[in-house]
Amino acid sequence: MMRSLVLLFLLSAIVACRPVKTIEQIQIKGSDSEVAVVMALAESFMHHEHRISVSVKGGGSGSGIAALLNGKTDIANSSRDMSDKEHEMAKARSIRPVPVVFAEDVLVFILHPSLKIKALTLDQIAGIYRGEIQNWKEVGGPDRMISLYGRQSNSGTYVYLREKVLKAEYSPKVKGMNGTAQIVEAVKQDVGGIGYVSLGYVQHNNKPTAGISVVSLGLGEGVSPLDRAAVTGGLYPLKRPLYHFLNGPARGALASFLRFERSEKGQAIIRESGYIPVEGPLAIAPGADVVPKAQPVHGK
């Protein structure tokens, strides 16, 4: 029995130690809002490029940037810009963060359908997430306690929302979920639930997810994020760039991947995943800065 066990372990070790030589590795880590679309891009990219291996990890924008600052990743996915403190730290560690905007994201709020609320103003949402408004009846819903769902402090979306909408700290009652998908799942089951997610998580191939209702923003009917024209026309207030942060300008495999993201195929994947592709030439001359002139695509 012992011998067969030893054999089993050795066998798995041998299998594991099979020489798998890849020529180049790209490490990508960070934003949970971006992870799905970047993984889809990476998979498609690797289909053709057999000598490049891309590994994509989530963990939140904060952990991506931290990894970049610790020298542990090639690309930091981030749905927010780097803070002054982070820029200082980068300088202190001789890291030169180069931002690349590869897509745009629409931030939406989702509610349980039974609340029958179609639209909310940004002020109301700020009040809800600051903890000032605690019952749905205060904003036109049924008499029910508001159940808050959000992300944790490592999330770029968390930071973005705090800066752009709340302008203050979150209520301590917000349940910090480990990922965006968990927020969607939780709100589906919580009759008093509200959460914030990327549009990509509630819309695939232009079809919205069942079981949750997506809130329109603004007075009266508000602007629905599902209305692509309104979003690209700038009527929906919460549209934000999605970043890749690199250490220094992109070369070799990295440049190749970024080029793929800009290609027709890459843009199609971005669109399918519920995000907005950005256009514009990506100048990737060796040694050049890789900062595109981002022009959002108009119409579909």
Partner 1 sequence: MGNKDLTPANLFENQKRHFFNRLFKFLVKTAAFLSVVVLVGIFALLAWNGLQMFREVSVFQFFFTSTWNPSALNAPSFGIGSMLAGTMLVTVAAMFIAFPVGIALAAYLSEVASPRMRGVVRPIIELLAGIPSVVVGFIGIVVIGPFLAKTFALSNGFTALNGAILLAIMALPSIVTVAEDALRAVPRAYREASYALGSNKWTTLVRVTLPAAGSGIVAAGVLGVGRAVGETMTVLMATGNALEVPDSLFDAVRTMTATMAIEMGEVPFGTTHYFSLFAIGATLFIISLLFNLTAEYLAAKFRHQA
Partner 2 sequence: MTRSKRIEYFGFGVLRLITLAVVLLIFWLIADLFVKGGHTLNWAFWTTFPQKGMTTGGIFPTVVGTAFVTLITALFAVPVGVASAIYLSEYARDHFLSRLIRASIRNLAGVPSIIYGLFGVALFVEGLHFGTSVLSAGLTLGLLSLPYIITATEEALKTVPKSYREGALALGATQWETIVSVVLPPALPGISTGVMLGLSRAAGETAPILFTGVAYYLRYLPGTVWDSFMALPYHLYVLATQHHAIEEVRPLAYGTALTLLGMITLLNFMAIQIRYRYQAQSPA
Task: Give the binding range for partner 1 (CB under 8 A) out of 14-22, 96-104, 149-157, 236-244.
Answer: 149-157
Q: Determine, following the binding rule CB under 8 A, whether residue 59 of this chain makes contact with partner 1.
A: yes
Task: Give the binding range for partner 1 (CB under 8 A) out of 15-23, 117-125, 148-156, 268-276.
Answer: 148-156
Q: Determine, following the binding rule CB under 8 A, whether residue 84 of this chain makes contact with partner 1.
A: no
Alpha-carbon distance 29 to 74, whole Å? 8
Count, residues near partner 2 per rule CB under 8 A: 39
105 burial type by CB count under 10 A (0-12 exposed, 13-18 middle, 19+ buried):
buried
* Spatial CB neighbours of 283, under 8 Å, sequence gap ≥ 6: 289, 290, 292
Q: Determine, following the binding rule CB under 8 A, whether residue 64 of this chain makes contact with partner 2.
A: no
Alpha-carbon distance 196 to 161, whole Å? 9
Q: Is 113 helix (H, G, I), strand (E, B) or coil?
A: helix
Task: Give the binding range for partner 2 (CB under 8 A) out of 55-63, 158-166, 233-241, 276-284.
Answer: 55-63
Q: Which is nearer to partner 2, 46 or 294 (by Cβ)?
A: 46
Closest by alpha carbon to 182, among 78, 270, 110?
110
Alpha-carbon distance 222 to 123, whole Å? 13
Q: Determine, following the binding rule CB under 8 A, whether residue 152 of this chain makes contact with partner 1.
A: yes
Select the residue interacting with partner 1 from 99, 113, 176, 237 (CB under 8 A): 176
Output phi, psi for 236, to 5 deg: -85, 125
Residue 292: how many CA atoms within 13 Å on its side-chain side? 24
Output phi, psi for 134, to 5 deg: -115, -10
Other beta carbons less than 10 A from residue 299's beta carbon: 7
Q: Determine, following the binding rule CB under 8 A, whether residue 5 of this chain makes contact with partner 2.
A: yes
C-alpha angle 86-87-93 in degrees, rounded to nearest 5:
90
Q: Determine, following the binding rule CB under 8 A, whether residue 186 of this chain makes contact with partner 1.
A: yes
Other beta carbons less than 10 A from residue 96's beta carbon: 11
In eight-state DSSP terms, residue 233 is T
Q: Which is nearer to partner 1, 145 or 219 (by Cβ)?
A: 145
Binders in 122-181 for partner 2, by CB under 8 A = 177-181
Q: 294 contacts which partner out of partner 2, partner 1, none, CB within 5 to 8 A by kind?
A: none
Q: Determine, following the binding rule CB under 8 A, whether residue 55 of this chain makes contact with partner 1.
A: no
Select the residue interacting with partner 2 from 3, 19, 167, 285 (CB under 8 A): 19
Q: 189 contacts which partner out of partner 2, partner 1, none, CB within 5 to 8 A by kind?
A: partner 1
Q: 299 near 276, Cβ under 8 Å?
A: no
Which residues of this protein are in contact with partner 2, per CB under 8 A? 1-2, 5, 9, 12-13, 15-22, 32, 35-36, 39-40, 43, 46, 53-59, 72, 177-182, 184-185, 200-201
Give the residues lining the site for partner 1 (CB under 8 A).
Answer: 59-60, 62-63, 65-66, 69-70, 86, 89, 144-145, 147, 152-154, 159, 162-163, 168-169, 171-178, 186, 189-193
